[in-house]
Structure 1
Amino acid sequence: MDESAGMMKILVTVENEAVAGRFDMVSETVVALYSRGELQGKPKIFLVSQPSAEELCRLIMKEEVGVLICGGIEERHQKFLTWKGVQVLDAVIGPYVLAMELAAKGELEPGVILPGSVA
């Protein structure tokens, strides 16, 4: 992914239109390509038949994701992805679309609770 040219591929774990609470239990992810903060094309939805952190890590590597947005993630998976060059924005709570938009603009931080979050 050529982030120097403003291109960024983002994967977010999804559950009920929000960032999923657990990385290792998610069955749906959305991958989108952004250029200079603007969505390029239509996001791709991936359904995971056997939810596991290892399967998601493989998907992230296969899709050449540059940024991961998720809720809780085990430290070993976070370290692996970081080592592979993926920026991990974890402990994010709120609507996944807003999280992706903010990440694409460089405005999303780990641990944030976004407007529109449902308790």
Structure 2
Amino acid sequence: MSMKKILIPLYGNDVAPRFDLATEVLIITTDDAGEGREEKIVVMPQASAEQLCHLVLTEGIGVVICGGIEEEYYQYLTWKRVGVFDSVVGPWERVFERFCKNELRTGSILYGPVP
């Protein structure tokens, strides 16, 4: 069973609205079923898209789930073979749950009642 790492920039309990303004990120290490997971919060010294990209690469992150991201950073991460789900809005727990069920899409809005 393969393990993967997912990074979600946070704003409280929600996915941060902008990748480049997040000062707190959640890194989840999990298996394919979303079980046996380990969560770790990383607090950045300042908001910086460059530092976040560096963190993604040094931590071996396979997937980034974020709100808005500038095209330059999106292109860089995908070029480095990192999967990026952008324009995602909602509480990180619900977003992660959808990701594990392979139901998360770019542009997903996950507020409101659970469908």
TM-score, normalised relative to structure 2: 0.91
User: Match of 2:45, SS?
Assistant: coil
Corresponding position of 2:26: 30
Corresponding position of 1:97: 93
1:58-96 CA distances to partner (integer Å, 9 max, x unpaired)? 000011000100000000100000000100000000001
User: Match of 2:81, SS?
Assistant: coil
Q: Return the alpha-carbon distance in structure 1 between the equivalents of residues 2 and 112 of structure 2.
A: 28
Deviates more, 1:35-44 or 1:89-98: 35-44
Q: Return the alpha-carbon distance in structure 2 between the equivalents of residues 9 and 100 of structure 1.
A: 12
Corresponding position of 1:81: 77
After superposition, the Cα gap between the structure-2 partners of 1:47 and 1:116, relative to the gap in structure 1 and judged at 3 Å, is farther
Alignment coverage as a number of residue pairs: 113
The Cα shift of 1:115 comes to: 3.4
The Cα shift of 1:37 comes to: 2.0
The Cα shift of 1:41 comes to: 3.9
User: Match of 1:14, SS?
Assistant: strand
The Cα shift of 1:104 comes to: 2.6
Q: Return the alpha-carbon distance in structure 1 between the equivalents of residues 44 and 35 of structure 2.
A: 24
1:12 aligns with 2:20: no
Gaps of 5+ in 1: none
1:45 aligns with 2:41: yes
User: Match of 2:35, SS?
Assistant: strand
1:60 aligns with 2:56: yes
Q: Return the alpha-carbon distance in structure 2 between the equivalents of residues 68 and 103 of structure 1.
A: 11
Point out 4+ residue stretches in structure 1 off by more than 4 angstroms: none
The Cα shift of 1:43 comes to: 0.1
Q: Name the % identity.
A: 42
Alpha-carbon contact 1:12-1:31 (below 8 Å) kept: yes
Q: Return the alpha-carbon distance in structure 1 between the equivalents of residues 46 and 13 of structure 2.
A: 20
